[in-house]
């Protein structure tokens, strides 16, 4: 347990983290990834280049420092970190590397006048406390998943048994275990970890599961990203019959039990986790409003599938919004960006709903504002976002 002196020192560094935390973390990542190649597979280089990963970690470090004496105030942040770690198989031996590089970055960026021996000792103790919390929680989840029906620990070999082009940009991949054994059931909204070796280099990624696991298979639906190393490999080279290593499903952005009307709002490939949520909700007969936004009909995946469900389940209302009309695809219910007025027309009249939304950052920021303005309780407005929540304000 941290001493009162350590906690006070860590909290005193909060103003420095507020103004310079991102620069500090950027230096930390640059140093760690260049000097410790064994941890490179655990980090998405695209997120490094965009700044998303440094911003997310800088926010996490800041929040930890700010609430060092009231860790329960961190809310869902710790659960998000733990689930990301589990999906990528972060192990106890990785923590000393991260800790050493973080302390070194603090020393080198802040300088000796600020990063005094007392500050360095306090932050070393604070990191040790955080590492112990995460390692313990992750160990419990690893054990739980290994002992659950169909569960396993670490990598497990799966075969690609089917691939389907869902739109001009999105392709689905179906995986079945090579050992023909059962698989771990995933909660609607969870993602799965993947380990690949590309050009002799190991890389790891997380992808949302886009279907329920009732059929004994996992399905992911991947958008081809311009310059995306892994997405382009999957689209161009991962064929039926190939073998790939998967880690057990993880993730806290899941469909909660409720009898309130459900609103699912997605943009682009953000539709993927909403699909198993939709399937699960329809089995309970709760009202569902499914709202999807796409650039145009050519890149809109799963439209026919959702339309078929709507024809079968009268409690499902579906609405489509296209940014542009390509003149070829089926018409949308609205052309243009999703405005607050349009969202109001598509929501249930009573705003006591459970809303889940996912998509590009700008889209999510707008939806978050719209839902709040339209009276949807903030605690019932749920989303998954890589980065500080403040970025969506």
Q: Which position among 138, 166, 169, 384 bears the catalytic label? A: 138
Q: Which position among 29, 36, 95, 233 bears the catalytic label? A: 95
Q: For helices 52-66 and 117-147, give the axis angle rounded to 10 degrees.
A: 110
Residue in 81, 95, 87 with CA at minimum distance from that of residue 39:
95
List, in sequence order, every residue forming a beta bridge with 222; answer none if it has no partner: 171
- Catalytic, 64? Answer no
CB of 291 within 8 A of CB of 264?
Answer: yes
Strand ranges of the sheet holding 156-165, from the earlier edge strand across to the other edge: 201-208, 191-198, 243-250, 156-165, 170-177, 218-223
- Please give the Cα distance from 135 to 128 (Å, whole number): 10
Q: What are the distances in angstroms from CA 203 to CA 43, 195, 198, 231? A: 8, 6, 7, 12
What is the b/e burial string over 31-53, where b = at least 16 CB atoms within 10 angstroms of the residue's CB?
A: bbbeeeeebbbbbbebbbeeebb
Q: Give the DSSP H or E segment for 198.
A: strand 191-198
CB of 392 within 8 A of CB of 368?
Answer: yes
CB of 352 within 8 A of CB of 263?
Answer: no
- Catalytic, 174? Answer no
- Count of beta carbons in the 10 Å neighbourhood of residue 378: 10
CB of 137 within 8 A of CB of 82?
Answer: yes
Query: Pairing mode, if any, of strands 262-267 and 288-294?
Result: parallel
Catalytic positions, written as ranges: 95, 138
């Amino acid at each position: 347990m941290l001493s009162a002196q350590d906690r006070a020192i860590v909290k005193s560094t909060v103003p420095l983290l507020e103004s310079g935390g991102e620069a500090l973390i950027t230096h930390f990542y640059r140093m760690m990834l260049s000097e410790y190649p064994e941890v490179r597979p655990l980090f998405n280089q695209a997120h490094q280049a965009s700044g998303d990963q440094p911003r997310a970690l800088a926010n996490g470090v800041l929040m930890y420092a700010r609430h060092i004496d009231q860790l329960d105030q961190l809310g869902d942040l710790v659960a998000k970190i733990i689930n990301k770690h589990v999906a990528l198989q972060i192990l106890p031996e990785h923590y000393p590397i991260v800790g050493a590089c973080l302390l070194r970055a603090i020393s080198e960026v802040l300088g000796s006048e600020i990063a005094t021996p007392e500050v360095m000792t306090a932050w070393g103790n604070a990191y040790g406390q955080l590492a112990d919390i995460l390692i313990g929680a992750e160990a419990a989840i690893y054990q739980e998943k290994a002992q659950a029906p169909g569960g396993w620990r670490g990598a497990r070999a799966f075969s690609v048994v089917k691939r389907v082009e869902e739109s001009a940009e999105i392709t689905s991949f179906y995986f079945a275990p090579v050992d023909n054994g059962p698989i771990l059931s995933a909660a609607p909204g969870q993602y799965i970890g993947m380990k690949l070796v590309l050009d002799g280099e190991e890389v790891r990624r997380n992808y949302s599961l886009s279907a329920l696991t009732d059929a004994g298979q996992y399905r992911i639906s991947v958008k081809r990203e311009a310059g995306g190393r892994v997405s382009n490999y999957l689209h161009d080279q991962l064929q039926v019959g190939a073998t790939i290593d998967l880690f057990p499903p993880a993730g806290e952005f899941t469909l909660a039990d409720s009898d309130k009307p459900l609103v699912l709002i997605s943009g682009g490939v953000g539709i993927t986790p909403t699909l198993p949520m939709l399937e699960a909700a329809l089995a309970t007969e709760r009202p569902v409003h499914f709202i999807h936004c796409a650039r145009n009909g050519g890149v809109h995946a799963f439209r026919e599938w959702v339309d078929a469900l709507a024809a079968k389940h009268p409690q499902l209302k579906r609405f489509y919004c296209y940014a542009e009309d390509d003149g070829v695809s089926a018409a949308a219910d609205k052309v243009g960006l999703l405005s607050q007025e349009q969202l109001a027309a598509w929501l249930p009249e009573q705003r006591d709903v459970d809303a889940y939304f996912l998509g590009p950052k700008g889209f999510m920021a707008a939806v978050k504002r719209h839902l709040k303005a339209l009276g949807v309780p903030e605690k019932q407005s749920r989303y998954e976002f890589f980065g500080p929540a403040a970025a969506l304000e």
